[in-house]
Amino acid sequence: MTINLQSLKEIENELESYTQANAQLSKIKAIRKLYHRLEEALDNGLTIQLLCDYLNQKGLEISPNYLYLVLHRIRKERGNEPNSKPIKTITKENYAPPILPTSPNSEEPPESEINPYDLMMEKYKQCTNQIDKYVVLGGNREDIEEQNISTQRSMVMNLRNKLRQKHKGIY
């Protein structure tokens, strides 16, 4: 028997119909096929429990917890929440730079008007290691240099919290 293109197409069509008639879907594949209808039903006020009862009556034996977890997994894979709009991707064509509010009298305040705590925090944010951060916050370099990284982090955070409490009144 020789197989030509015509007979190959017939075999493909027959195999597709045979698969649809005899294949057993797993629970998760069945839920994936029903996903949009299930989400629509949830949006219209049906509960997971009601949907689960209905699916159990139709032969798909699942628990409400399983249905909830599978729906969550599908949403996570697709990158959307049940009631969220699709995320718009910013491209060069649709990019619009942010418009900053400007007024004729808006100027940056002079250095003397800026809070010293805020200046210190700006310098702190620019530091790349714990020793420099500690020194910027007013600590002694000798106190922190010989400590391990965990202790250094702790010392920096303690000093930063003390300064925040002193200047901002925030604990």
pLDDT tens digit string along 137-159? 999 999 898 889 999 999 999 99
CA–CA distance, 134 with 79 (Å, rounded to integer) = 41
CA–CA distance, 49 with 135 (Å, rounded to integer) = 59
Q: Tell me the percentage of the chain whose pLDDT exceeds 90.
A: 38
Instruction: Tell me the one-letter amino acid at 7.
Output: S
Highest mean pLDDT among 10-19, 73-82, 100-109: 10-19
- Taking 90 as the threshold, does the pLDDT of residue 52 lie above it? yes
| pTM given for the model | 0.40
- Taking 80 as the threshold, does the pLDDT of residue 111 lie above it? no
Choose among 59, 61, 64, 37: nearest CA to 48: 64
Neighbours of 51 (CB within 10 A): 20
Q: What is the pLDDT of residue 25?
A: 80
Q: What is the pLDDT of residue 146?
A: 87
- Taking 90 as the threshold, does the pLDDT of residue 37 lie above it? yes
